[in-house]
Structure 1
Amino acid sequence: MHATDFDWRTVADLALDPRERTHIERLDAHAQLEAFYEIWVMKESILKAAGVGLAEDLRHLSVSPGRDGSTPRQYRLSENAACFQAATLPAPSGYAACVAWEVRLDGK
C-alpha cells in the first residue's frame, strides 16, 4: 500500500528518467502519485527479475508508460544485458502490482 501524502518529487531525481517525470507532471495531483508508484513497482519488478534488485540506478531503466500498461513491453538494463518483459497487474485501490520475466530473443 502506498502513502497518499507521500511527495514523489522527493525521490524523483533518484528514481525517474526525464520522460517518466514529464509524464507524471502532466497528470493531476492524485494521478501523479498513482503513476509514480506504478513506475516504481515496474522498475523494482524488472530489477528483481534481473537479480540485481534496487542496487541498479533506477534512472537507467526507463519504463515510460504506454497506452496500455498491461501490455508486456521489452526492457534491457544495458545494451548487452538480458531482455525482460513486464506487465502491470490489477491491484486493490492504494496498491500497484507488476510482474517481470526474462525473455529469450533467439526464438527458442
Structure 2
Amino acid sequence: MRQGDEQRVFPEVDRLVARGEAHVWWWRSPDRVEPDDLRLLATAEFRRALSLLSERDAAEFVHTRAGARRALGGLLGVAPAEVSLGRRRCPGCGSDGHGPPQLDHPAVPLAISLSRTAGWGVFAVGAGPAIGIDAEELRPVREALLSDTVLTVAERGHLDAVASGSARQRAFHRVWTRKEAVVKAVGVGLAGTELGRLETLPEREGPVRVTHHAADRASAWTVQDLPLADHLAVALARPVGPAARGAVHLHPPA
C-alpha cells in the first residue's frame, strides 16, 4: 500500500462490494501500438510487448493493458497513470511469475481479469476474492479440441447433437470460454486443470454453477455468457456466494 492510500475514499468500490457487482468493458484494438497506450504500461509489460512477434499482437496486448487502466481510472476516479497492475501468486505452485492479475494500486478489494482475441480486448472487475473472463472469436474447431481431455462426456454429447457449422462453433466456444473463465478465476490456468472433469453445462443458457476440482480442494463458480458481440463468445466466472451475487454492468466501446 502506498503512503496515503489508507486515507483515500472510493465510494464506488464500497457500493460495488456491498452489492456484489461486477463491471465489464470491451474494445477494438488498433493494428499498431499507440504511444498513448504505451506510456501507461509498466516496465515488465513493455518488455512483454517487445517480445511479441507481430505488431498486431503487440498492439492488442498494449491496448488491453492500457484499456484496463483507463477503465479502472474511470471507475475509481483516478488518473489511469495512477493505476498499477501486478500478479497474485499462483495458487497451484506458489510462483509470483505467472499468477492471475491483480490491482496493486489503488489498494482496494477488487478482483480483475483480462482477455484478448482477434483484435478485441475484454476487461472485468468485480467484488470478491477472484474473477475470471474469457473471450474467443468464433472460428472452426480443431478435432483435437473435441477429445475427452478437453470435454466431459456430457459436453461431447451436447456438441454431437448440434448441427455442424456455425451452430457447433458457437456451442463449442460456449464450453471453452466457460472453462477458461473458471480456470482464470481459480488462478491455475489451463495447464493446471483437468479440463475433462470441468463440467460447464452448455445445454443451459446460464448462469450455471461450475465446480473446479484441484488436487486438494474444490471451488464453486457462477458462470454466465455475456452478449458483447455477435462474432465473440464471452464468459464471466465469479465465486458462488454473496460476494458475487450482484449485477454485471456492461460498458460497450465508446
Q: TM-score range by the shorter chain?
A: 0.7 to 0.9
Partner of 1:34: 170
Contact 1:50–1:102 (CA under 8 A) maintained in structure 2: no
Partner of 1:9: 143
Residue 83 of structure 1 deviates from its aligned partner by 1.3
Contact 1:45–1:98 (CA under 8 A) maintained in structure 2: yes
Partner of 1:74: 209
Root mean square deviation, CA, Å: 1.9
Partner of 1:48: 184
Partner of 2:234: 97
Q: Deviations over 1:4-26 (max 9, x none)?
A: xx234321113111110110111
Provide the secondary structure at the position in 1 that maps to 2:213: coil
Residue 44 of structure 1 deviates from its aligned partner by 0.2
Instruction: State the TM-score, normalizing by the size of structure 2.
Output: 0.37
Change (3 A) 1:60 1:93: same
Q: Deviations over 1:47-99 (max 9, x none)?
A: 111111112121110112244x2x32222112841211100110312210010
Pick the structure with greater CA Rg.
2
Letter in 2 for 1:19: A
Question: Is residue 2:200 matched to residue 1:84?
Answer: no
Q: Deviations over 1:18-47 (max 9, x none)?
A: 110110111111211110011000000011
Letter in 1 for 2:213: S
Letter in 2 for 1:16: L
Q: Structure 2, unaligned stretches of length 5 or more?
A: 1-136, 243-254
Residue 2 of structure 1 deviates from its aligned partner by 2.9
Superposition misfits of 4+ residues, deviation over 6 angstroms: none
Provide the secondary structure at the position in 1 that maps to 2:181: helix
Letter in 1 for 2:212: L
Task: Count matched residues.
Answer: 101
Instruction: State the TM-score, normalizing by the size of structure 1.
Output: 0.81
CA distance in 2, matches of 1:28, 1:35: 10
Q: Structure 1, unaligned stretches of length 5 or more?
A: none
Contact 1:88–1:98 (CA under 8 A) maintained in structure 2: yes
Residue 102 of structure 1 deviates from its aligned partner by 1.3
Instruction: Select the structure that is richer in strand.
Output: 2
